[in-house]
Amino acid sequence: MNPHGGPAKCRTPSILDQSPTFIQPLTSITERLRLESFFARLQPLEIELGAGDGSFLVRYAQMCSERNFLAVERLLGRLRKLDRKGRRASLANLALLRIEAAYFIEYLLPPHCAQALHIYFPDPWPKKKHRKHRLINARFPEVARQALAPMGIVYLRTDDADYFAQMQEVFAAAEKDFKPVETPAELAAVVTDFEREFNAQGIPTRRAAYRLK
Ligand SMILES: C[S@@+](CC[C@H](N)C(=O)[O-])C[C@H]1O[C@@H](n2cnc3c(N)ncnc32)[C@H](O)[C@@H]1O
């Protein structure tokens, strides 16, 4: 019987019920993470900050099985959707972490461990008084420099003209460490969930990438 008195309904067990989750437990919020424990194989690591529902990362991780991918997202509901997509795709190179991205990259990520940082459609915080909350700010290039392996790349996309100008400004000010590069066409072709919606409304993607010198 179910709680309302009717006959209990049996849900057909799904293959996903048995496969382990990609969502990683956070064992400490003060010590740097042992990322090797997240993945079956040691491979070059790429990280998406603010991964949302994760269509981009799941597709890209399928295309690049010789790399590991870590999604960082603060909303559990979005992380769970991403988890289901990753399990349906039977990925072996994906890990998910629920944590605030700016704190994660500065305090929990081991230094110089990421080949790439993907930051797509980060919250634009359009009101002037809220701009201090933007992830890509004057400090970000230095934080990214610490996170990236030699020749590592930051990939950026946004729909927001003002935020895009700020992204370009802060990396121009860090020209000692970073130089602008093209986003490879095969990467640009993998769209994110927000990007698909914006593009369908006629709002174009603004894209930039910066490589460590
Ligand atoms: C506009 S959505 C974009 C999601 C995805 N990148 C895409 O393009 O479809 C921004 C995402 O970043 C997450 N987010 C925003 N600020 C964050 C933060 N400080 N730390 C972690 N995640 C954050 C939000 O929860 C949301 O899922």
Q: Provide the residue ranges of all domains of the chain, joining segments of one domain with +.
A: 39-212
Residue 127 Cα to ligand 1 midpoint, Å, equals 17
Instruction: Express each pLDDT in 156-209 by its tens digit.
Output: 999 999 999 999 999 999 999 999 999 999 999 999 999 999 999 999 999 999
Tell me the pLDDT band of 16, cut-offs 50, 70 and 90.
low
Nearest to 78 by CA among 98, 103, 107: 98
Confirm whether 17 is a catalytic residue.
no
Residue 18 has pLDDT above 80, yes or no: no
- Please identify which of the residues 17, 123, 160, 162 carries the catalytic annotation: 123
H or E element: which one contains 197? Answer: helix 193-200
Architecture category of domain 39-212 in CATH: 3-Layer(aba) Sandwich (3.40)
As a whole number of Å, the end-to-end CA separation of the chain is 65
The Cα 21–Cα 92 span in angstroms is: 11
Sign for the pseudo-dihedral over CA of 75, 77, 81, 83: positive
How, if at all, do strands 114-120 and 148-158 pair?
Answer: parallel
Tokens 């030699």 sit at which residue?
150
Residue nearest to atom 23 of ligand 1 (CA): 50
Nearest atom in ligand 1 to the alpha carbon of residue 133 is: 19
Nearest atom in ligand 1 to the alpha carbon of residue 104 is: 20
* Crossing angle of helices 76-88 and 55-63, rounded to 10°: 30
Tokens 């795709």 sit at which residue?
89
User: Between 9 and 181, whose confidence is greater?
Assistant: 181
The Cα 150–Cα 163 span in angstroms is: 27
Ligand 1 site residues, Cβ closer than 6 angstroms: 50-52, 72-75, 78, 100-102, 120-123, 192-195
Kindly report the backbone phi and psi dihedral angles of residue 168, in degrees, each rounded to the nearest multiple of 5, phi listed first.
-65, -40
pLDDT at 210: 98
Residue 178 Cα to ligand 1 midpoint, Å, equals 24
Instruction: Express each pLDDT in 52-111 by its tens digit.
Output: 999 999 999 999 999 999 999 999 999 999 999 999 999 999 999 999 999 999 999 999
Residue 138 has pLDDT above 80, yes or no: yes
Arithmetic mean of pLDDT, 39-53: 97
**Secondary structure of residue 19 in the 3-state scheme:** coil
Arithmetic mean of pLDDT, 18-42: 90
What type of residue is 192? T
Residue 121 Cα to ligand 1 midpoint, Å, equals 7
Arithmetic mean of pLDDT, 133-160: 98
